Chain A
Amino acid sequence: MTTKLMLSALRTLRVSVPNKWQVPALNTVRHYAAPPKRFYKKTSVLCTDGGYEVVLDHRKLKTPKGAPFTVKSEPLAIAVATEFDSQKEHIERSRMHLSALCFTAIDNPNNLNKLDMVNYLLNYMPTDTVLFQYDDEQDLQELQKNEWDPVIDWFNQRFETNLQKTMNITAPHITDADKVKVAKHFQSYSLETLHGFVYAVDTLKSVVLACAVIEQMLPVEKAVALARLEEEYQIKFWGRVEWSHDLSQQELQARLAASVLFVHLNCSENFVKEKLIL
């Protein structure tokens, strides 16, 4: 009886396995789209009524959606032009964070409005990296206390909020009054600038750190180091792997620097009023 059962079970297994789990063939090659060749020689910036445009040879740069690329700030346009100029043989779009951010802000592919983005940032706050600390390991806890707590205190002082860190898995409670205060701050920025904020928060996984670096309380490298604090701590014991740890660190730094530049250049304006001499 048992052998019969076993045999039938085996048979069903044999029949069902190949259909259910397709074993991937070893020699499958993933095909990626080849990056476009660099088709221009020189890049420059054009000043028009609507703002500044980037020109590749004699062609105007366009966004992926086909809209003309126009930004309000001259240094931003220059930075994008420089980025296009620094491409060697191919245009590596995945490594052009500043241009990508400008394109996203112009195209707004997800059709987000200001309220969506502010809500996104507010909903990020209960899962903020720096609010989740760990007290089982003494050294790590001390490191987090020394490095993260000053930033939380700065945030609470700057926005007059009362964020509390948590020591276990339950999310910290953020009162409605605090949410309103932070929302008011984000609402004061334009839609384009908020794209930069969201990019920074996604990079650092922390609203507190993103605000600190955009308000110039922390330099970019330090903010990335704080966001990767636990990783760095574990690296001390398990070793540093260049193609993983260093690569991710450099990428995070580049992404964060791009978003900080984007936010600053988007909301800073320089007026020069000249005296009229009669």
Chain B
Amino acid sequence: MSGTKVLRSLLHELRKASPNGCIKDSLAARYILAQYKKYETTDQQHCKARNEAVFLGQTYLTYLSSLRNYTELYHEFHGRGERTVKDTADLVGFKLPTDPK
């Protein structure tokens, strides 16, 4: 994955992770953008492995997206106790007597 693509996906994940869906004043987004500015010409640094910056970006991206997927699956499948009468009726396509026809 190229650097730009990682950046776009990282911002996307950060936006999804933030509670109000806005990353205008998010620390992480600002830090990542500053790093991208810093390594704009090249991210090959002395005494560092090749593509270290992109690797770290990808790892953080994996972290954020895996956590989000995990939470989604958890909420989908985790037991919430007994279903209500309305849930059960919806499940089999029935209507409650109180529902409009």
Contact = CB atoms under 8 A, between A and B. Distances in A.
Interface of A: 43-45, 74-75, 78-79, 81-82, 85-88, 95, 97-98, 215-216, 219-221, 242-243, 246-247, 250-251, 253-254, 257-258, 260-261, 264-265, 268
B78 to A, nearest CB: 9
Given A78-B28, A242-B77, A260-B59, A253 B49 contact: no
B71 A95 contact: yes
Given A216-B51, A261-B56, 19 more contacts: A81-B28, A82-B28, A85-B19, A87-B19, A216-B49, A219-B62, A220-B59, A242-B77, A243-B77, A246-B69, A247-B70, A250-B70, A250-B73, A251-B70, A253-B63, A257-B66, A261-B63, A264-B59, A268-B48
Contacts of A258: 63
Given A78-B27, A81-B27, A242-B73, A86 B62 contact: no
B79 to A, nearest CB: 11
A216 B55 contact: yes
B19 A221 contact: no
A78 B10 CA distance: 14
A98 B19 contact: no
A29 to B, nearest CB: 10
A75 B38 CA distance: 14
B28 to A, nearest CB: 4
Q: How large is the interface on B (under 10, 10 to 19, 20 to 34, 35 or more residues)?
A: 20 to 34
A215 B56 CA distance: 11
A24 B87 CA distance: 30
- Overall SS of chain B's interface: helix
A82 B14 contact: yes
16 contacts: A85-B26, A95-B67, A95-B71, A216-B49, A216-B51, A216-B52, A242-B77, A243-B73, A246-B69, A247-B70, A251-B70, A254-B67, A254-B70, A257-B60, A257-B62, A264-B59
A98 B58 CA distance: 16
Given A75-B31, A243-B73, A88 B59 contact: no
Contacts of B74: 247
B7 interface: no
B19 A86 contact: yes
B9 to A, nearest CB: 13
Q: Which 8 A-B pairs have the closest CB atoms?
A: A257-B63, A253-B66, A86-B17, A243-B77, A254-B66, A250-B70, A82-B28, A257-B62
